[in-house]
Amino acid sequence: MSAAVVPPVGARIRQARLERGMSLRALAREVGVSASLVSQIETGKSQPSVSTLYAITTVLGISVESLFDARVSSPMAGVDSPGTVLPALAAFAADPGRRIGPLAGAGERETLELDSGVVWERLGRVPGADVDFLLVTYRPGGSSSGSGGLMRHTGTEYGYLTSGELILTLGFDEYTVRPGDAVSFESTTPHRYRNDGEVPAVGVWFVSGDVQ
């Protein structure tokens, strides 16, 4: 199977911003962060938290999944930006018409590491299927929101925890999620995950719907 380079997330964010004729300051203002942070994300010197990533993609009108997609062209494709956490990984297929699967080996998965101690591994994708299929790891102290705030986005979220422990804040309620527990809710409900434990919390997550 041929390999292709997955460019840094920041390059794709910058490309989408420029395609929309939006200035760096305008994007920062819409997202509610500093222009300096957006600049660092675009140049690969910093990675966004989960909540910031969703906010950026919402403002730009792109899907989170598109940041993983090796078929999306980028002016910085193949550039190893200093400090970039996202490594250049083998794409699942060089043929744009081929689905990712039916088998995605452990060493073939695209990985995105976020600055709030969260790692997403893309487990697969079927063209035309509107779902994100992810192995998610929350490191000790990790949270889906670096600022501690709640996030919301379109779609429906399903998760199953295999190890560790997570605290899920969902609206005004708080739940302790332990191995073997499953969660499901509309992602438009303000929510946040955090790992207060001393070991990583790992689980499989599905987010269905138009995740933008």
Mean pLDDT for the stretch of residues 145-168: 87
Per-residue pLDDT at 122: 83
Residue with tokens 């550039």: 79
Strand partners, 119: 113, 137
Q: Mean of the per-residue pLDDT values for the chain?
A: 76
Q: Is the peptide bond before 96 cis (omega within 30 degrees of 0)?
A: no
pLDDT band per the 50, 70, 90 thresholds, residue 2: very low
Tell which wins on pLDDT, 96 or 176.
176
Q: Which residues contact 106 (CB under 8 A, 6 or more apart)?
A: none
Per-residue pLDDT at 100: 59
Q: Looking at this protein, which amino acid is placed at residue 173? A: D
CA 201 to chain centroid, in Å, comes to 16
Tokens of 66: 């598109």
pLDDT(89) > 80: no
| CA 43 to each of CA 36, 47, 81, 112: distance values in angstroms, whole numbers, following the listed order | 11, 10, 7, 16
Tokens of 141: 């102290």
Tell which wins on pLDDT, 67 or 142.
142
34-43, long-range: CB < 8 A, 24+ apart: 41/9, 41/10, 41/13, 42/10, 42/11, 42/13, 42/14, 42/17, 43/10, 43/81
pLDDT band per the 50, 70, 90 thresholds, residue 10: confident
pLDDT(170) > 80: yes
Residue with tokens 């078929």: 71
Nearest Cα residue to 212 out of 72, 58, 75: 58
